[in-house]
A and B are shown apart, each in its own frame.
Chain A
Amino acid sequence: MDCVVELEKHTTVDSLHSPSSLRINRVKEHRKSFSSWQVASPRRRSASIRLVARHPDVYEPCDDSFALVDALLADKVNLLEQRPSLCLEVGCGSGYVITSLALILGDVGNAQFLATDISQTAAQVTRETLSAHGLQADVVVTDLVHGLEKRLAGSVDVLVFNPPYVPTPEHEVGAAGITATWAGGERGRVVIDRMLTMVDNLLSTRGWFYMVTLTANNPSEICQIMKKKGFASRIVIQRYTEEENLHVLKFWREDLTFDYDYNSETGGGGATPQSSFSSKMSRFAFWK
């Protein structure tokens, strides 16, 4: 999770239609060059990097954050159609993702946004990022969704999670400072697996769950775990960087049938529609 980023923005739906596909090289080193981003224009569809607040202990938007937002953008048509009322991000860090989601769904104006992080500093940074974009959402400091799970049961329409997914020694999970933002323990699965046990309870009948994973996390196994809980899944975006192979997975209740707008999924290596789990598994076979 090195933050030196080479992000090709043209993988997003919006920028497909814009003449100037943005190529961001080395975000960290070249922040100054973002002067044209200084003002959050109402036409922007994701959070402006310039307006994202920072703190040494808080995870800065990286490849994985961008992949998640690009996945949400790629799925925008479906999201707008779903008309979510309650959206929740777990582990909001800088606030880049929840802010982007709020901007993406801004057009329908029907949703409220809630975010959690285990870090008090991250919660404050997220608040700053939200307010820099003129948005209101509540942020709660808690472990995953503790304290919210009873009352939010069956109410979350869009759940997003970019977890600490890097395989590390167990003791680094939940350690102090910046380490806890990425340390995921054995196979990077310690926090992910705890989250997977909560999804069924939280999601509404039409609810969707988006999560970032790494090949080392064994996404196909994650999909099987969710399948046993009654969830179908697909890959919205796969991205291969020098450092890591990222996948953004989307889960929804299998008994729920709906039509995708496949045309909206041209970018970002969006997976082809999958009618059955077995066809998906053949895709997953690539990853091993």
Chain B
Amino acid sequence: MRLLTHNMLACNIKGVTKGFPLAIEVTKLETKESEMNPDFLRHIYPKLDWKALHDAAHTLGLNDIPEQVEPAMLEDEDFLQKFHHALLEVHLEEGALICPETNRRFPVTKGVPNMLLNEDEV
């Protein structure tokens, strides 16, 4: 899974109010190149929680994602490339996502996060 998906996932155990962003435990990362699409990045940008992306990128060792974004940066090729890389090219292959409120651990196995809840959590 990539940070795009991480940005869309929240813990929804009964009683949890926000459950977002999930902390990331990294066991294995993989980088796969993909073609950058500036239109997609500009479209998705307002839907992202930027702080969550910034912090998650940091956890994955990607330190060139700025804390704040000015609209003009979305026209800057160099910035878009870094944004694209962090959002879509780095894959969490093994590890876990952890709920910030309950510390519930959701395992990520072979790139797939398992968000299934136990019966008593629903």
**Interface status of B60 (Cβ within 8 A of chain A):** no
Q: How far is the CA of A151 from the CA of B7 in the complex (A)?
A: 8
When the two chains form their complex, are residues A152 and B115 in contact, meaning their CB atoms are under 8 A apart? no
Given A109-B35, A136-B34, A142-B115; A147-B9 close (CB under 8 Å): yes
Which of B39-47, B62-70, B71-79 binds A? Answer: B39-47
When the two chains form their complex, are residues B110 and A148 in contact, meaning their CB atoms are under 8 A apart? no
When the two chains form their complex, are residues B40 and A141 in contact, meaning their CB atoms are under 8 A apart? no
Q: Which chain B residue shows the least CB distance to A155? A: B47
Cβ < 8 Å to B, chain A residues 123-138: 123-124, 127, 136, 138
Given A109-B35, A136-B32; A143-B116 close (CB under 8 Å): yes
Q: Which chain B residue shows the least CB distance to A114? A: B5
Count of CB-CB pairs between chains A and B under 8 Å: 80
Cβ < 8 Å to A, chain B residues 57-99: 88
Q: Whole-angstrom distance from the CB of B32 to the nearest CB of chain A?
A: 6
Q: Which chain A residue shows the least CB distance to B4? A: A112
The total of chain B residues at the interface (CB under 8 A) is: 32
Q: How far is the CA of A124 from the CA of B110 in the complex (A)?
A: 8
Across-interface contacts of B116 in A (CB, < 8 A): 118, 141-143
**Interface status of A266 (Cβ within 8 A of chain B):** no
The total of chain A residues at the interface (CB under 8 A) is: 27
Q: Which chain B residue shows the least CB distance to A147? A: B115
**Interface status of B29 (Cβ within 8 A of chain A):** no
When the two chains form their complex, are residues A111 and B40 in contact, meaning their CB atoms are under 8 A apart? yes
When the two chains form their complex, are residues B113 and A127 in contact, meaning their CB atoms are under 8 A apart? no
**Interface status of B23 (Cβ within 8 A of chain A):** no
When the two chains form their complex, are residues A85 and B111 in contact, meaning their CB atoms are under 8 A apart? no
Q: Whole-angstrom distance from the CB of B10 to the nearest CB of chain A?
A: 5
Given A110-B40, A112-B40, A127-B110; A140-B115 close (CB under 8 Å): yes
Among the listed A111, A127, A152, which residue makes an inter-chain contact with B8, where contact means beta carbons less than 8 Å apart? A152
When the two chains form their complex, are residues B11 and A138 in contact, meaning their CB atoms are under 8 A apart? no
Across-interface contacts of B54 in A (CB, < 8 A): none
When the two chains form their complex, are residues A138 and B12 in contact, meaning their CB atoms are under 8 A apart? no
**Interface status of A120 (Cβ within 8 A of chain B):** yes
Across-interface contacts of B8 in A (CB, < 8 A): 114, 148, 151-152, 155
Given A85-B43, A141-B114, A142-B115; A147-B4 close (CB under 8 Å): no
When the two chains form their complex, are residues B112 and A120 in contact, meaning their CB atoms are under 8 A apart? yes
B-facing mask of A79-91, CB < 8 A → 1, else 0? Answer: 0000001100000
**Interface status of A32 (Cβ within 8 A of chain B):** no
Among the listed B1, B12, B20, B40, which residue makes an inter-chain contact with A140, where contact means beta carbons less than 8 Å apart? B1
When the two chains form their complex, are residues B44 and A85 in contact, meaning their CB atoms are under 8 A apart? yes
| A-B CB proximity, top 7 nearest | A147-B115, A142-B115, A138-B5, A141-B114, A151-B8, A123-B112, A138-B1
Binding site for A on B (CB under 8 A): 1-2, 4-5, 7-12, 19-20, 32, 34-35, 37, 39-40, 43-44, 47, 49, 88, 109-117
Can you offer 7 A-B residue contacts whose CB atoms are under 8 A? A110-B37, A114-B5, A138-B2, A140-B1, A140-B113, A149-B12, A151-B8
